[in-house]
Amino acid sequence: MAQASNALIRADALTLAFSSKVIQHDLSFDVMPREVLAIIGGSGCGKSTVLRALVGLHEPQAGRVLHGEHDLYTSPLEVRDDIRKHLGVMFQAGALFSSMTVGENVMLPLELNAPASRAQHERIAREKLALVGLQDSFEQEPASLSGGMKKRAAIARALALEPQVLFLDEPSAGLDPLASARLDALILQLREQLGTTVVMVTHELDSLFAVADRIVFLSAEDKTMIATGAPRELAASGPPPVREFLHRGRVAA
């Protein structure tokens, strides 16, 4: 049960389901300030659903999602809206809007949430694009960007409102190792420069070992979390399925 704690977000005995089909049950973990927490597990085990539950888009069948002391699903609407404004989200299929320029994509959350002039929005959007190394892409069409650039532009959009917590669902999926490593560096840089807390889903082991402070491992078989801890700790002495997962393809490396 929730006690005094400096956790930013607390998942408290969550059960997540689609109608009668339980995806994951009894998930309890904290997200601590400035940590990079990775949610991992086999394909289809419910990682994206957990992420959506943490940001207010999937109501748990049981349990609570606490942001500070506020319950994300039962607090008054204005409290929930205020919480959501402090969260930046990049969804797994988080495409940019192709009918808008990269700059307009990044300005969109500002236009929807932050009353200010277009010039101010543009200044902030350019600043976020510079932060992710896309200072020259403001006027570009999304179609003209590489895969890695698209991901970074989507992160810039998620950063537009200067979120306290950034949620990234498979940010490096489909990227080559170099682009993936650059994205890892960007995540660490955001934490250093902005103090951003990051909750990410990833199946890239290199990325996991490079950036994650802690892992929550979801089991597809048991439909619950079977381990939590630092990546190296779990790789050395976690439960067998977790060790196996973390050593995939690393034996010959």
Residues that bind ligand ATP (CB under 6 A): 18, 23, 43-49, 92
Considering beta carbons, is residue 164 or 172 the nearer one to Mg ion?
Answer: 172
Least distance to Mg ion from the beta carbon of 18, Å?
A: 14
Considering beta carbons, is residue 48 or 180 the nearer one to ligand ATP?
Answer: 48
> What does DSSP say about strands 36-41 and 214-219: parallel, antiparallel, or unpaired?
parallel
49 binds Mg ion (CB under 5 A): no
Q: Which stretch binds Mg ion (CB under 5 A): 24-32, 91-99, 120-128, 214-222?
A: 91-99
Whole-angstrom distance, CA of residue 49 vs CA of residue 65: 13
Angle at 150 between CA 216 and CA 127, to 5 degrees: 95
Considering beta carbons, is residue 48 or 137 the nearer one to Mg ion?
Answer: 48
Contact with Mg ion (CB under 5 A): which of 16, 27, 48, 152?
Answer: 48
Whole-angstrom distance, CA of residue 78 vs CA of residue 94: 26
State how far Cα 20 lies from the chain centre.
27
Whole-angstrom distance, CA of residue 141 vs CA of residue 102: 6
Task: Determine phi and psi for 39, rounding to 5 degrees.
Answer: -105, 120
Least distance to ligand ATP from the beta carbon of 23, Å?
A: 5
- Per DSSP, 96 falls in state P
Pick one of Mg ion, ligand ATP, none as the site partner of residue 97 (Cβ within 5 to 8 A by kind).
none
Q: Give the interface size with Mg ion as a residue count (CB under 5 A).
A: 3
Helix, coil or strand: residue 59: coil
Considering beta carbons, is residue 94 or 133 the nearer one to Mg ion?
Answer: 94
Pick one of ligand ATP, Mg ion, none as the site partner of residue 44 (Cβ within 5 to 8 A by kind).
ligand ATP
Q: What is the CA radius of gyration of the chain?
A: 18
Q: Which stretch binds Mg ion (CB under 5 A): 43-51, 68-76, 104-112, 143-151?
A: 43-51
Least distance to ligand ATP from the beta carbon of 167, Å?
A: 13
Pick one of Mg ion, ligand ATP, none as the site partner of residue 89 (Cβ within 5 to 8 A by kind).
none
* Backbone conformation region of residue 133, classed left if phi is above 0, alpha if psi is from -120 to 50, else beta: left
Whole-angstrom distance, CA of residue 120 vs CA of residue 72: 31
Contact residues toward Mg ion (CB under 5 A) are 47-48, 92
